[in-house]
Amino acid sequence: MSESFTSVSLGTVELACLTSPSIDDHSRPLVVCAHGFPDSAHSWRHLMPVLDDAGFRVVAPFLRGYAPSGIATNGAYQTGASSDDMNALHEHFSGDQRAVIIGHDWGAPITYGAASSAPERWSRVVAMAVPPGASLGLAFVTNTEQLKKSWYMFFFQHGLADMVVPADDFAFIDMIWRDWSPGYDAAADLPAIKDAMREPEHLAAALGYYRAALGDGYRDPALDGIQAATQAVPTQPTLYLHGANDGCIGAEVAESARSMVGNHVKIEIIRNAGHFLHLETPDAINQRILEFLS
């Protein structure tokens, strides 16, 4: 399958999107896929053709601020702003109540926010690498091993990050991928990721997600409701997948989420996979997603 590029204007931002060949076939359910950090829409290159072959139509945006998407005119990079973008993409591509939303890393809370704020739009939810509910926030104050893994989130609050991250052709990003997905060869992923952040304003946007979450980054008061929804557990049937070897968020954090969600949420730990599990073990992940959606 060869994906196509399309540009969608959402008012405060122009989103570049990869779309499957069937995107205009409205007889098919829509699937929206949201990537995280440090990543790009190309992260979905293994899943998109599988979903297309299974009868879905798929759109994978570059999140606001990630080139070739535009810089947000309102300066908002909080996760709730991207949740709002996902709901707007549902509207733009004429999605209906059968639509599915899938998210990885930052894309996971973005997905929870979209699905929880507009449950009439989304029939099912798939998320990876950031558990639903309060488990990660709780881990920050009860799990020193997780706090150590999350050091980068606090480093990003400092202006030094704007110089360190892009230095030596983004060697920092190479390091992050090695640490988070041990043993995975990311050579096919890293060029697109670096291009998405190569210009200073796009790097500032990518770091802006962290600054809005933990620091003094701008948060649009008009998005307070959908921002709160990013911490909610969606009411729809939800599949949550987490790599057993995830070097970013420990698998024990995902395990602890089991007691914080209802029976409609299926949590599965994937053996021999790290943080970017959908790229490390695409066949296994794609199969689980297809089984869940069927």
pTM for the model stands at: 0.97
Which string of DSSP letters, residue by residue, matches 62-81?
Answer: PPTTSTTSPPPTT---SHHH
Averaged pLDDT of the chain: 96
Task: Return the pLDDT at 137.
Answer: 87
Residue 173 tokens, joined: 């990003």
CA distance 283 to 289: 10
Residue ranges of the chain with per-residue pLDDT less than 70 = 1-3
Task: Return the pLDDT at 1.
Answer: 53
Task: Return the pLDDT at 2.
Answer: 65
* Closest among 9, 5, 4, 3 to 92, alpha carbons compared: 9
CA distance 271 to 222: 41
CA distance 184 to 277: 10
Q: Looking at this protein, which amino acid is placed at residue 77?
A: Y
Task: Return the pLDDT at 4.
Answer: 84
